[in-house]
Amino acid sequence: METVYSLKPLLAVLVSLVAVAFIVIPNQRPNVRESWTILAALAKFALVASMLPLILQGKSPAITLFAISPGISLALRVDYLGIIFGLSASFLWILTSFFSMGYVRSIPEHKQTRYFASFAICLSATMGIAFAANLFTLVIFYEILTIATYPLVIHRETPGAIFGGRKYLVYLLTGGVFLLFALALTYQLSGTVDFQAGGILPALTAKSSVIMLFTLFLLSFGVKSAIMPMHSWLPTAMVAPTPVSALLHAVAVVKAGVFGFARAIGFIIGPSMLHESGASGFLAALTAATILVASLIALRQDNLKARLAYSTVGHLSYIVLGLTLFSPSAWIGALLHIVNHAMMKITLFFCAGAIHVKTHCENVSQLNGIGRQMPLTMAAFAIASVGLAGIPPVNGFISKWYLVQGSYDAGQIVFVVILLLSGLLNAGYFFSIVVRAFFAPSDKFTRFDEASKLMIVPLVITAVLSLLMGIFPDRIPYFFQLASSAAQSVFGGGGL
Amino acid sequence: MSSLSILIVASLLLFCFISVLVGIWRLRWAYAVALAGMALALVAAGTGFYRVLADGELRYFLGGWPPPFGIEYVLDHLSAFMVVIIVFIGLIAVIYPPEAGLYHTPRRGISAYGLVLLLIAGLVGVVVTGDLFNLFVFLEIYSLASYALITMGGDKAVVASFRYLILGTIAGSFYLLGVGFIYFSTGTLNMADAARLLTPLYGSPTIMAAVALIVVGMGIKMALFPLHVWLPDAHSYAPPVVAAILAAIQIEVAAYVIVRMMLTIFQPQYFIDIMPITTIIGWVAAAGIIFGSVMAIAQKDFKRMLAYSTVAQVAYIGLGIGLANQLGMIGALLHILNHAFMKSCLFLVAGGIRYQTGLHKISQFAGLGRKMPLMMSAFTVAALSMVGIPPTAGFFSKWYLVLGGIEANNWVFVAVILASSLLTAVYFFRMIEKLFATPSGGDPAVEQAREPSARILTPIIILAIGIIVLGLINALIVSYVLQPVVALLP
C-alpha cells in the first residue's frame, strides 16, 4: 500500500480523549455531558469513515509523531486490517452511547461521569490499537485500554464487582507483562517493530526463537481474546453494566486481543514462517478446544449474560483459529467474523440490557413468554442468534463459510467438523431462549411494553445491519473487499 | 573550565547557613531562604546540564590547583544528569509546605531547612567531585544531615535514625578504607588520574580488596538487598519530605558512585570480567526485587509499603548495572530519574493524606479517592508508573531493562523484571481499589476529608505530570544524555 501523510488517524484517536476533558467538567447537566459523548462518537466515526475511500484506492493514511525509544516512533498508519477494526468499533460506539444513556438513566446508575469518561478513553485506546503502525504503539494503547476498562468493570462497587475487577487485572496485567516481553524480543530479533504485511522477522531467525515469540504473543493476546484456559476473566467481568459488556466485552477489548493476533501473525512473524515453525498447530488445537468447551459451558448457563459471555469466548476462538490457518480464505473469514460477530453479539447484549432494565430478569429461565412483552427486542435477539449459529441469510453465515473453506484449503478437515458442530451447539443455546420467549406460556409478560427508544433503536439497527450484511456482504461498507485485500497483502508477501 | 559545578554546591552551603541564621530570628523566613537557594541551584544545574550537552565536559580546579594536586570538580553527562535530578527533586521537596512535610520540626527557632539544604549540597557534591577523598567528605555531609532529619519523625524515628547512623558509618568507613587502598597503590586521589594509574594494577589483590570494600559500602548506602535492613524503618518513620528526598535521590547517589567506579575510575571490564561484581550485583538485585515487592505487599502502613517498594525499586537499578551491557545500564540510569519522580510523588501524597486526615494505614483510606480527586489522581499516575503501564515513565525503565536482559541472554533477570511488575501491581492496585471503589466505613476522618491546599497539591501534580512527560520524551533523554554515558560498555 502506498503511504500518504494524513492527520486523520491521530484525530480519530484523540477526539474521544478531548471529549473526556469536557465530560468531566463538574456540575453540568447530564444531557450536556452526554452530548459530548455523542459528539465525540459521531466525529470519530466520521473521521474513520472519511479514510475509507483512500484505503479502497490502496492508499494508507499515516502519521509519525515522535521517537518513543531510539529507533522506534510513536506512529499511526491505517491499512485494510486497521480500518476494519476501526470502522466497526467507532460505529458501534455511537449506538452504544445512545444505549448507555437509556440504560444508566433507567437503572439509574451512580457515578455516571466516571462511567462516560472511562468509556471515551477506552475508545481512544481502541482506535490507537487499530491504527498503530508498529508494535510499540500498539502495546501502549493496548495497556491503556486494559487500565481504562478497570473502572468500568468495578463500576457497581459491590463485592462481586471488586472481585471481578481483581480477576480482570490479574489476567490482563499478566498478559500485558508477556506482551512487553514479546515486544522486546521482537525488537531484538528483527531490529524493528514496524508492522509489515507478511512479517518482519529476518529469514534466518531460528525456529526456536519463532516458537518462543509466538508463545509470548499467545500468552499476551490470548488473554484478551479469552482463549481457554485464559478466558475466565471474561465471564467474571460481566458484573459490569450491560453497555460495557456490549461494547467492550464483545467488541473493543476482546477484539483488541484478536486484532493483536492478526498483527502478530500477519505482520510480525508472518504466516509462512509461523507455519514452518509448527507452532500454530498448538494454538489451532487450543482454539478448537475452546470453541467446543465454551459452547458446552454456554449451554449450561442460566444467567443470560454469562451465556453470552461463554458464547463470546467460543466465537473469539473462531477468529483466532482462522488467523492461525495457513490459508487466505481462513483469514478472510476471520477478519469478517471480527465485524460480524461484533454486530451480532452487541445486538444480543443490547437485548439483555433492555430485558434487565425493563423486567430485572437476568436468568434465561425467567424469560418464558417475554416475546409478548418485548417483541422487537426478542426479534432482534432471534436474528442475531440465527447469525451466530451460522445460518443464512444473516452475516454470521458468510464469515463461517470462509472459515470452513479455509480449514478445508489448509487440509484441516477436523476444524471443518468442529466449526459445524459448534454451529449446532450455538443453535442449541440460543434457539432455546428464542423458543422460550415466543412460545412458552406466561402470565407475567402479557402487555406490549418495550424499553425506552434510546435502547430499542440501537438494537434494531444492529439486528437489521446483521441481516443486510448477510444478504449484501460487500455493499455495506466494503468489509468483504477490505478483508480480502488484507488477507492478500499478508499472504502475497511484502505487501500490496 | 567552568565554575558552575562548584557554584551549585557553594550556593547551597551558603544558603544553608543563611537559612539557619534567619531561622533563629523568623522561622518562616528560613523556608523562603531555602526556596531561594534551591531555585538558584536549579538554574545553575540547568545551565550546567545545557552546557554539557552543548560543549561536553566542564571541569573546575578548586583554588586553581590543577589535578592531580588539587581537587577537581567535573560536570559530564552522567554527573550533570544526576545533578539536575537531585536539585529538581530537592526544590520540589522544599516547595512542599513544612506543616505537612516536616511534622516534628524542632521548636526554638532552629530551621530544618538548613539541614535539607545541607543534605542536597552533600548529594550534589558527591556527584560533581572528581576526587575520591572529597567524595567521602560529601558522603559524610549528606549522611549526617540525613541522620538528623530522620529524627524529626518522632520517637521511633530516633531509633531508626540511630540504626541507620551505625550502618551508614560502617558503609562510609568501608568506602574510606577502599579509597585508602587505592591511594596506597597509586598515590593519587584524582579520579581521572587514578583511572590512568590503575590500569596496570588490575591484577593486584589490594585493588581488588579496595573495590570490594567500596562496592559493599555503597551497597549498604543504596540499601541493596540484603544490606537494606536500615531502610524500612528510617524511610517509614522519617517525615514525608525527608522520606521523599531519601528514597528519591539519596540512595540513588550511592548507586551513582558504583556506576562512576565502574565506568570512569575502572574500565567496565574490571567490574565485569576481572572481578565478577556485576554478576553479583545483578543476582543480589534480582533477589532484592522479589524480596522488596513481597514485603511491600505484606505492609499495612502506606509509608512502610513505600519504603519496601524502594528496596525493590533500587534493586532495579542494581539489576541494570548487573546486566553489564548498554541497554541494561540505560535502564538503570533512566530508572534513577523515573524512580525519583515516582517515589517522591508518592511520599508527598502520603504526607498530604496524613496532614489532611491524620490517617496512615491503607485500610483506613477507603473512600478517600472521591474526597481528594486531584491528589489521588496524581497518586494513581505514580502508581501506574510504578507498575509499568505505558506511556508513564516507569514502563520505559522496564523496557530498556528487558531489552538488556534479552541481549545478555539472562532469562532469569527478564522473568524477575516481569514478575515484579505483577507484584507491584498487587500492592498498588490494592490501594487504588481502596481509594476509589470501596465505600468509606463512616470514619469521620474520611468523611470530613477535603482536597489539600494548592501549596501541597502543586508539587505533587508537577511530579505526576513529570512522570507522563518523562515517559513521552524518554527517547530524547536516552539518545542525548545516557547513550554517551554508557558508550564504554559492551
Beta pairing, strands A59-69 & A2-5: parallel
A165 has a chain B CB within 8 A of its CB: yes
Structural domain contains residue B380: yes
Helix (H, G, I), strand (E, B) or coil at A166: helix
Distance CA B214, CA B307 (A): 24
String of DSSP letters for B21-70: HHHHH-HHHHHHHHHHHHHHHHHHHHHHHHHHHHH--EEEEGGGPPTTTS
Closest in A140, A144, A181 to B402, CB measured: A181
B394 has a chain A CB within 8 A of its CB: no
Q: Give pLDDT tens digits for B435-457.
A: 988 887 778 888 888 888 999 99
pLDDT at A395: 85
A165, B437: Cβ pair inside 8 Å? Answer: yes
- Which uninterrupted H or E stretch holds A2? strand A2-5
Residues of A in contact with B396 (CB under 8 A): 69
Structural domain contains residue B81: no
pLDDT at A494: 39
A157, B437: Cβ pair inside 8 Å? Answer: yes
Q: Name the DSSP class of A66.
A: E
Closest in B422, B433, B476 to A177, CB measured: B422
Beta pairing, strands B58-61 & A72-77: unpaired
pLDDT at B304 over 80: yes
Q: Which three cell numbers stand for residue B43?
A: 538554574
Q: Is the peptide bond before A108 cis (omega within 30 degrees of 0)?
A: yes
pLDDT at B108: 52
B377 has a chain A CB within 8 A of its CB: no
Structural domain contains residue B417: yes
A117 has a chain B CB within 8 A of its CB: no
B475, A139: Cβ pair inside 8 Å? Answer: no
pLDDT at A477: 65
Please count the helices (runs of H) and the strands (runs of E) in chain B.
Answer: 24, 2
pLDDT at A478: 81
Give the closest-approach CA distance of B475 to chain A in angstroms: 4
pLDDT at A496: 34
* Residue A458 contacts residue A99 (beta carbons within 8 Å): yes
A180, B425: Cβ pair inside 8 Å? Answer: no
pLDDT at B143: 94
String of DSSP letters for B274-321: IS-HHHHHHHHHHHHHHHHHHHHHH--BHHHHHHHHHHHHHHHHHHHH
Give the closest-approach CA distance of A432 to chain B in angstroms: 38
pLDDT at B4: 84
Give the closest-approach CA distance of B439 to chain A in angstroms: 8
B372 has a chain A CB within 8 A of its CB: no
Give the closest-approach CA distance of B332 to chain A in angstroms: 15
B421 has a chain A CB within 8 A of its CB: yes
Q: Give pLDDT tens digits for B158-214.
A: 899 999 999 999 999 999 999 999 999 999 999 999 999 998 888 899 999 999 999
B484 has a chain A CB within 8 A of its CB: no
C-alpha distances in angstroms, A310 versus A233, A302, A455, B257, B435? 11, 12, 24, 56, 32
Q: Which three cell numbers stand for residue B301?
A: 502502613
CB pairs under 8 A between A and B: 81
Helix (H, G, I), strand (E, B) or coil at B74: strand
Give the closest-approach CA distance of A173 to chain B in angstroms: 7
Distance CA B297, CA B446 (A): 23
| Interface predicted TM-score of the whole assembly (ipTM), two decimals | 0.91
A162, B437: Cβ pair inside 8 Å? Answer: yes
* Residue B434 contacts residue B428 (beta carbons within 8 Å): no
pLDDT class for B1, splitting at 50, 70, 90? Answer: low
Distance CA A439, CA A370 (A): 9
Residues of A in contact with B418 (CB under 8 A): 177-178, 180-181
A184 has a chain B CB within 8 A of its CB: yes
* Residue A289 contacts residue A228 (beta carbons within 8 Å): yes
Q: Is the peptide bond before A393 cis (omega within 30 degrees of 0)?
A: yes
pLDDT at A495: 37
Give the closest-approach CA distance of A378 to chain B in angstroms: 35
Domain ranges of chain A: 2-492
pLDDT at B168: 94
Give the closest-approach CA distance of A141 to chain B in angstroms: 8
Q: Which three cell numbers stand for residue B55?
A: 560543549
Percentages helix, strand, coil for chain A, rounded to the nearest 5? 75, 5, 20
- Residue that the C-alpha cell 453465515 belongs to: A397
**What is the chain A residue with the closest CA to B439?**
A157
A68, B474: Cβ pair inside 8 Å? Answer: yes
Q: What is the separation of C-alpha A14 from the centre of its chain, rounded to a whole number of angstroms?
A: 20
Q: Give pLDDT tens digits for B87-113.
A: 999 999 999 988 887 766 555 546 688
Domain that holds residue B452: 338-490
**Best interface-test mutation with B: which of A121, A171, A172, A181 has the largest number of B CBs within 10 A?**
A181
B190, β-bridge pairs: B131
pLDDT at A397: 87
Closest in A140, A173, A184 to B402, CB measured: A184
* Residue A83 contacts residue A90 (beta carbons within 8 Å): no
pLDDT class for B281, splitting at 50, 70, 90? Answer: very high
pLDDT along chain A (496 residues), means of 10: 88 90 80 86 92 88 90 91 91 89 79 85 92 93 92 87 90 93 93 88 87 93 90 87 82 91 92 86 89 91 89 91 89 90 91 87 84 86 89 86 88 87 88 86 75 86 88 76 85 54
A26 has a chain B CB within 8 A of its CB: no
Our count of domains for chain B comes to: 1
Q: Flag the least confident range among B27-31, B91-95, B212-216, B393-397.
A: B27-31
Distance CA A322, CA A81 (A): 15
Contacts of B487 (CB under 8 A, 6+ apart): B326
A158 has a chain B CB within 8 A of its CB: no
Give the closest-approach CA distance of A495 to chain B in angstroms: 29
A166 has a chain B CB within 8 A of its CB: yes
Residue B235's closest CA among B169, B157, B183?
Answer: B157
The one-letter amino acid at A25: I
String of DSSP letters for B125-176: HHHHB-BHHHHHHHHHHHHHHHHHHHGGG-HHHHHHHHHHHHHHHHHHHHHH
Q: Name the DSSP class of B490.
A: -
**What is the chain A residue with the closest CA to B384?**
A147
